[in-house]
Homo-oligomer: A and B are copies of this chain.
Amino acid sequence: SAQSQKTNNPFQTKVDSILKLMTLEEKLGQLNLPSSGDITTGASQSSNVAKNIEEGKVGGLFNIKTVAKIREVQQIAMEKSRMKIPLLFGMDVIHGYETTFPIPLGLSATWDMDMIEKTARMAAQEATADGINWTFSPMTDISRDPRWGRVSEGSGEDVYLGSRIAEAMVKGYQGDDLTLNNTMLACVKHFALYGAPDAGRDYNTVDMSKIRMYNEYLGPYKAAVDAGVASVMAAFNEIDGVPATGNKWLLTDLLREDWGFNGFVVTDYTGIEEMMYHGIGDFQEVSARALKAGSDMDMVSEGFLTTLKKSYEEGKVSMADIDTAVGRILTAKYQIGLFDDPYKYCDLDRPAKEIFTPENRAFARKVSSESMVLLKNDNNLLPLKKSGTIALIGPLSNDALNMAGTWSVATKQEKSSPLLEGLKTVAGKNVTILQAKGSNVDYDLDYEKRVTMLGKEIPRDGRTDKQLLDEALAIAKKADVIVAALGETAEMSGESSSVTNLQIPQVQKDLLNALLKTGKPVVLVLFTGRPLAITEEDENVPAILNVWFPGSEAGLAISDVLFGDVNPSGKLTATFPMNVGQVPIFYNHKNTGRPLGNKEGKFEKFKSNYLDVRNEPLYPFGYGLSYTTFAYGNLKLTSNTLNANGTIEASVEVTNSGTYDGKEVVQLYIRDVVGSVTRPVKELKGFQKVLLKKGETKTISFSISEEDLKFYNNSLEFKAEPGTFQVFIGTDSNAELMQEFELK
């Protein structure tokens, strides 16, 4: 309960003593989180925000960067405001800071929890060196809809994998000790269900049953809370008809009472104001409703700052409501030691030593190469030889600005490694590399403008489509192999970048088809922030490497993989559909009462299938090839009976049966054959990423306990039910090796 959270708070006495000294206005100021706005280094004292800070009307700032600027701003709070309460400094540190890692969807494809944790650790190191002590990450929104642009910022469709990643990220940002100057407050978002908007349109209405919510969407948020995340961001969407920001069931009953969260809740950008558009009250009413629901800090709306006093006077909120929220903000400031040293993150010497260092960039390069997913590789076209002539063609073939992908506000865009440069560096001297743009991003200039915005420009080439194509075909003719760098630009996915067409833009498809017609072997290097419907490309292109948006070291990392210096090991964490009409499509669906009777996808009347496309996706969850091959065999269980509180081991032999050393993500899925409610056809319940030398065989074991079999039943009780379970282990979610056991 709220009371027990208070009594467990080691800083409560201090918080209470400060609260006693504060005016109502100052309290409301602590709940106010404006954007940094017009602050510029050296002139911060004269900004509007500065005036508000002086008056005690600001609890923290976000969207502010550089230690010098932050130090100046903190000084205003410490020297000019009456209460001298230090400010929080927040930022969207999402997938790295200046050293930028792959977009989160790509990062998740590494299936490497240590590596993911380390990316968050490194991001915290860099961000704190620059003065920042709070990141709005991790985003743990499960999504099954690739139309939604923000799939790029999440960890895919699976609640188990998403939960492990959420834990790793929180641990990475917050470390073991939040009082250190290189750890920072994490913020799990967007609580909750933001990844399931109707029709995949960002900010649209979300709706689902409680049982789906609990079993299929809430897990990763809860995992972050269990991992000790310091803050939670309320989602834009409604849940059961009530916007998350003002949803007491969500922010208090579930989050605090059931899950025991004791940090603070921040709204998303203008989340309070937006409740007026949702249609549940005027500004005063929605602000009061947000506070009473459990929102503690108001990002940008200034609803708390400007209306809560009136609501207090009218008895619509109590001083206890306000004190509870302020207490949570102050507690966070105590937690990270800001009251002891408001300038602890403001060491002017740190940035040069700790940010965007060669070491950090080397690590980013490694992470990027591990995130890439080899989707197709006919006749071992890849890896490329380090000899001969390569024609590198495509609108993304020599671009730096898009490499970091969406939501990388601190990235050094212009310093990102373009593919052309990376290819030259990694190829060495025996390779001739020719390059041409081949096409613009899109036939439609207006569309191209919309998807190359926010600094992620790709300059429109003034030549005609034909001129661009002719140039490309001319160099293609001189090459032994064509590398086509195509797909999305960074801003084609991400926030507010929902689409209804999941294909590569037509001009790029036309370019690709023209390149294929040359008869030269073509490798498609696919840039994307979402699962794309590349069904035609899969049919026609011999090799496809999905590189997502790889981050700062994009060009080098892609080249490492293309030339085989790194053997690709990424696995998809989101299903790639055959077409947009299959959406939502995900591996852990229910069986239905009329499942299709054949695996080939042949149409069967009066079964659950489509007339015009198979049920199976283009690439399933967990899918990804390697330059080597892996053979699975000898799946065994230590027992065919599992007793409550017992465990059984499932083991499988995995052999590297190909000609390269390589890493494999061994995946364990479980099916609960009969339930009191319908259960998915399988669910990921374990995975291990293992290195196998060529020819090597390893026995990989997983422990299974009753805990792994629990789910929320129709009464929302989290329980395992006795009966038969099937264990599948394999290379992706189509894993077929199977053994059964009984839970007693």
Contacts and interface: CB of A to CB of B under 8 A. Distances in A.
Interface in A203-242: 203-205, 207-212, 236-238, 240-242
Contact of A500 (B198, B242, B613, B714): B613
B678 A501 contact: no
Interface string A126-158: 000000000000000000000101000000000
A491 to B, nearest CB: 9
A237 B610 CA distance: 17
B209 A208 contact: yes
A242 B280 CA distance: 33
A237 B672 CA distance: 19
A198 B584 contact: yes
Interface string A601-637: 0010111111111010000000000000000000000
A500 B592 CA distance: 19
Nearest to A577: B500
Contact of A678 (B242, B495, B589, B603): B242
Interface in A664-709: 672-679
A243 B591 CA distance: 12
Contacts of A609: 201, 496, 498
Given A274-B594, A592-B278, A594-B277, A238 B678 contact: yes
A275 B593 contact: yes
Contacts of A579: 500-501
Nearest to A498: B610
Interface string A580-602: 11111100011111110000000
B209 A207 contact: yes
Most buried by B among A579, A583, A603: A583
Given A611-B450, A677-B280, A203 B499 contact: no
A106 interface: no
A609 B498 CA distance: 7
A465 to B, nearest CB: 19
A199 interface: yes
Contacts of A612: 447, 499-501
B236 A279 contact: no
Nearest to A594: B203
Contacts of A274: 593-594
Contacts of A498: 609-611
A355 to B, nearest CB: 29
A451 interface: yes
A502 interface: yes
A500 B582 contact: yes
A611 B451 contact: yes
A266 to B, nearest CB: 16
A388 interface: no
A581 B278 contact: no
CB-based closest 10 A-B pairs: A500-B581, A274-B593, A241-B677, A203-B608, A203-B594, A205-B590, A580-B581, A496-B606, A207-B212, A277-B593
30 contacts: A199-B581, A199-B582, A200-B581, A203-B592, A203-B593, A203-B594, A204-B608, A205-B678, A208-B209, A209-B209, A209-B240, A210-B240, A236-B593, A238-B590, A240-B677, A240-B714, A241-B677, A241-B678, A278-B592, A279-B591, A279-B678, A281-B674, A282-B674, A451-B611, A496-B606, A496-B607, A498-B609, A498-B610, A500-B610, A501-B613
Given A199-B581, A274-B594, A499-B610, 20 more contacts: A198-B589, A203-B593, A203-B608, A209-B209, A238-B678, A241-B677, A241-B678, A242-B677, A278-B593, A280-B674, A280-B675, A281-B674, A447-B612, A453-B605, A492-B611, A496-B609, A499-B612, A500-B578, A500-B582, A500-B612
